[in-house]
Amino acid sequence: MTDTTPETGPKLAPTTWVNPLTPWGTAGQDDVTSVQAPDPRQPWDENTAYKAKTYKVGRLKHYIVWPAHGAKLWDRWRWWPTRRNLLHIKGLYNRKTLKAEKKILDRRPVYWAICLLLLAIAPFFFPESMENTLLSAGAIFGIFAAINVCWTLIVGTASIFSLASYAVVGVAAFLTTWLSANMGLPWYTLPLIGAFMGLAMGAIIAIPALRLDGFYYALLTLGLNELCRVFFTTSSEFGSASGGLYGADTYISDQWEPYAQSLTGYYGAFLLMIASLFLFRFINGKRLGRILRMAPEKREAFAEACGVDYRRARVTIFVLTSAALGFIGGFYAAQFGGVAFQIFSFDTVLLGLAMITIGGIGKAEGAILGTLVVTVLDKVMIDWGPIRHFSIGLIMLGVVLFLSNGYFGIKKQFNAWRDKKRGEWRSIRSEKGGEALPEEATEQDDKDELFFRRFDKMQRDYLKGLICPEIIEEHRRQPLGQHSEALERVCYYFRRAPMEDKYALHHDHAKDRYKIIAFSGKRGVSPRVVDDREYDNVGDAYHAIFIRRVHDLMES
Partner 1 sequence: MDITFVIINAIVVASIYGLLAVAVSITWSSLGLINLGYGFVFSFAGYCAYVVAENVSEFPAVVAAAGILGGALAGVMICLLVFIPLHDKPNFTTRGMIGTLAISLIGSQALLMYFGPRAKSLPEIFGFWSVKIFGTVLTSDKIGIVVCSIIMLIVVVMWMRGSRRGLEIRAMMMNPHAASIVGIGIRSTGIYVMAMTGAMAGLAAVLLSQTYYIAPFSGLTPLIKGVSIALCGGLGSVSGAVIAAVILGLTEAITSRYLGGQYVLITQFLVIITILIVRPRGIAGLLDKAREQ
User: What is the binding site for partner 1 (CB under 8 A)?
Assistant: 161, 207-208, 211-216, 218-220, 222-224, 226-227, 230-231, 234-235, 346-347, 350, 353-354, 357, 361, 386-387, 389-390, 392-394, 396-397, 400-401, 404-405
Question: What's the min distance (Å) between Cβ of 82 and partner 1?
Answer: 35
Of 161 and 503, nearer to partner 1 (C-beta) is 161
Question: What's the min distance (Å) between Cβ of 226 and partner 1?
Answer: 5
Find, among 249, 130, 131, 133, the residue nearest to 183 by Cα: 249
Quote the DSSP letter at residue 68.
P
Question: What's the min distance (Å) between Cβ of 67 and partner 1?
Answer: 43
Question: What's the min distance (Å) between Cβ of 343 and partner 1?
Answer: 16
Find, among 370, 544, 452, 459, the residue nearest to 37 by Cα: 459
Of 115 and 212, nearer to partner 1 (C-beta) is 212
Of 1 and 387, nearer to partner 1 (C-beta) is 387
Q: Give the dihedral of Cα atoms 196, 200, 203, 205; nearest 10 deg.
A: -120
Cβ atoms of residues 238 and 178 within 8 Å: yes
Report the distance separating Cα 347 and Cα 392, nearest Å: 11
Find, among 66, 110, 117, 61, the residue nearest to 92 by Cα: 66
Find, among 199, 217, 197, the residue nearest to 208 by Cα: 217
Of 314 and 549, nearer to partner 1 (C-beta) is 314
Of 213 and 531, nearer to partner 1 (C-beta) is 213
Find, among 371, 274, 250, 272, the residue nearest to 328 by Cα: 272
Of 240 and 261, nearer to partner 1 (C-beta) is 240
Give the phi and the psi of residue 480 in degrees, each rounded to 5: -110, 170
Report the distance separating Cα 214 and Cα 468, nearest Å: 72
Report the distance separating Cα 213 and Cα 81, nearest Å: 41
Of 73 and 387, nearer to partner 1 (C-beta) is 387
Question: What's the min distance (Å) between Cβ of 334 and partner 1?
Answer: 28
Of 415 and 556, nearer to partner 1 (C-beta) is 415
Question: What's the min distance (Å) between Cβ of 355 and partner 1?
Answer: 11
Find, among 134, 114, 138, 123, the residue nearest to 272 by Cα: 138
Question: What's the min distance (Å) between Cβ of 185 and partner 1?
Answer: 27
* CB-count exposure of residue 158 (10 Å: 0-12, 13-18, 19+): buried
Of 37 and 303, nearer to partner 1 (C-beta) is 303
Question: What's the min distance (Å) between Cβ of 206 and partner 1?
Answer: 12
Question: What's the min distance (Å) between Cβ of 216 and partner 1?
Answer: 6
* Long-range contacts, 87-92 (Cβ 8 Å, 24+): none
Find, among 484, 483, 485, 471, the residue nearest to 550 by Cα: 471
Which residues touch 143 (CB under 8 Å, ≥6 apart)?
A: 269, 272, 273, 328, 331, 332, 335
Of 269 and 374, nearer to partner 1 (C-beta) is 374
Question: What's the min distance (Å) between Cβ of 150 and partner 1?
Answer: 19
C-alpha 301, offset from chain centre: 27
